[in-house]
């Protein structure tokens, strides 16, 4: 079948689709591929077949492997059928490859809503045929995809679509076969981008949760205000509750304030102790002086003060009259 005019460019070996040779040989020799898949002529017919026939994404049907536990190149086993019965998933994946899909068709696969296995084969198509340098742009929007899929034959290995996409980007092993190798530099760049993406996603999620919680608090407060406006007794109860909360908050803060005040008071007391001692000493000296004076000294001092004030008054009176010309 001739490729479409606007077909998506293929990276790597166009003859093998970058698949393991034994897997590809078993696909091409499979009666299911040669008969059933040959009858499928269009993209939509293949999608319908995937919907009805695909229940896992392994290269081999369950229990059909002759060499159990082999990975990578499948233990170097050669010959058609020696690997086991190739799965319908891989037969249909290769059938999609023979159609030479457009970018729009590939995007339609990975966003399909009818079956997670349609989406899974779409991601596998990208992983096998697209340049490692382009994988991040293809997969980055699906890292947190929550749709569940179980790619293991017979079940028992459920994961989200996002987890499966991450596994395709970070690991070569895929259920007894290998994806195309990713250069070390590109692999490291993808890991760094994924790490940054996860940090930013967590921060964004936390901010969204805080915004939702704030909106809920404001909504509750608004409801309380509206209810209180229609119920004066409820308003009084809310005021009491508010006062109780304020009192409890002040009570919790009181020990720290008391501690600070005590520290401040202890420093002021230490400064005032010397000052008080000095003041008390000066006052005691003045009191001692007063105590040492006899009654006669008091009378004599009082008389001297009177005579001094009288002379001052008389002198001032005489000066005022001189200024007025009284004695002229």
Residue 283 scores a pLDDT above 80: no
pLDDT band, very low/low/confident/very high, at 305 (cuts 50, 70, 90): low
Residue 257 scores a pLDDT above 80: no
Place of tokens 């109780």: 244
- The pLDDT of residue 11 is 97
Q: What CA–CA distances, in Å, run from 233 to 221, 228, 242, 247? A: 17, 8, 14, 21
Give 42-82 pLDDT, tens digit per residue: 999 999 999 999 999 999 999 887 654 444 444 433 334 45
Task: For residue 7, report the phi and psi dihedrals to the nearest 5 degrees.
Answer: -65, 145
Mean pLDDT of the region 195-213: 93
Residue 326 scores a pLDDT above 60: no
Task: For residue 169, report the phi and psi dihedrals to the nearest 5 degrees.
Answer: -80, -30
Give 125-178 pLDDT, tens digit per residue: 999 999 999 999 999 999 999 999 999 999 999 999 999 999 999 999 999 999
d(CA 196, CA 199): 5
- The pLDDT of residue 80 is 42
| pTM, to two decimals | 0.64
- The pLDDT of residue 288 is 53
Mean pLDDT of the region 271-281: 53
Give 82-105 pLDDT, tens digit per residue: 578 999 999 999 999 999 999 999
**Whole-number average pLDDT of the chain:** 81
pLDDT band, very low/low/confident/very high, at 242 (cuts 50, 70, 90): low
Q: Which residues pair with 173 in a beta bridge?
A: 178
**Segment among 31-40, 241-250, 280-289, 303-312 with least mean pLDDT:** 280-289
- The pLDDT of residue 64 is 81
Query: Residues 30-33: contacts with CB within 8 Å, 24+ apart?
Result: 30/85, 30/86, 30/91, 32/88, 32/91, 33/86, 33/91, 33/94, 33/95
Q: What is the DSSP string of 44-80?
A: HHHHHHHHHH-S---SB-TT--SSTT--TTGGG--ST
Is the model more confident about 245 or about 131?
131
d(CA 125, CA 173): 16
Residue 22 scores a pLDDT above 80: yes
Residue 87, CB half-sphere, CA atoms under 13 Å: how many? 24
């Amino acid at each position: 079948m001739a490729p479409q005019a606007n077909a998506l460019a293929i990276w790597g070996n166009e003859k093998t689709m970058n698949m393991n040779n034994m897997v590809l040989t078993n696909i091409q020799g499979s009666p299911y591929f040669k008969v059933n898949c040959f009858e499928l002529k269009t993209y939509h017919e293949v999608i319908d077949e995937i919907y009805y026939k695909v229940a896992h994404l392994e290269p081999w049907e369950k229990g059909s492997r002759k060499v159990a536990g082999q990975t990578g190149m499948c233990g170097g086993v050669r010959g058609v059928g020696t690997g086991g019965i190739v799965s319908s998933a891989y037969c249909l994946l290769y059938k999609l490859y023979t159609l030479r899909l457009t970018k729009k068709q590939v995007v339609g696969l990975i966003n399909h809503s009818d079956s997670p296995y349609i989406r899974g084969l779409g991601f596998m198509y990208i992983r096998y045929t697209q340049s490692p340098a382009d994988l991040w742009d293809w997969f980055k929007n699906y890292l947190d995809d929550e749709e569940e899929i179980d790619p293991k034959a017979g079940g028992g290995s459920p994961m989200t679509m996002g987890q499966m996409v991450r596994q395709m980007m970070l690991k070569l092993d895929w259920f007894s076969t290998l994806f195309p190798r990713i250069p070390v530099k590109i692999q490291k760049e993808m890991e760094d981008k994924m790490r940054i993406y996860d940090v930013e996603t967590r921060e964004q999620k936390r901010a969204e949760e805080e915004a939702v919680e704030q909106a809920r608090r404001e909504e509750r407060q608004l409801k309380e205000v509206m209810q209180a406006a229609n119920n004066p007794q409820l308003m009084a109860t809310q005021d009491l509750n508010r006062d109780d909360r304020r009192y409890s908050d002040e009570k919790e803060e009181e020990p720290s304030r008391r501690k600070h005040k005590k520290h401040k008071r202890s420093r002021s007391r230490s400064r005032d102790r010397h000052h008080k001692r000095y003041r008390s000493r000066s006052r005691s000296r003045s009191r001692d002086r007063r105590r040492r004076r006899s009654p006669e000294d008091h009378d004599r001092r009082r008389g001297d003060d009177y005579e001094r004030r009288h002379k001052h008054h008389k002198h001032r009176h005489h000066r005022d009259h001189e200024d007025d010309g009284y004695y002229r």
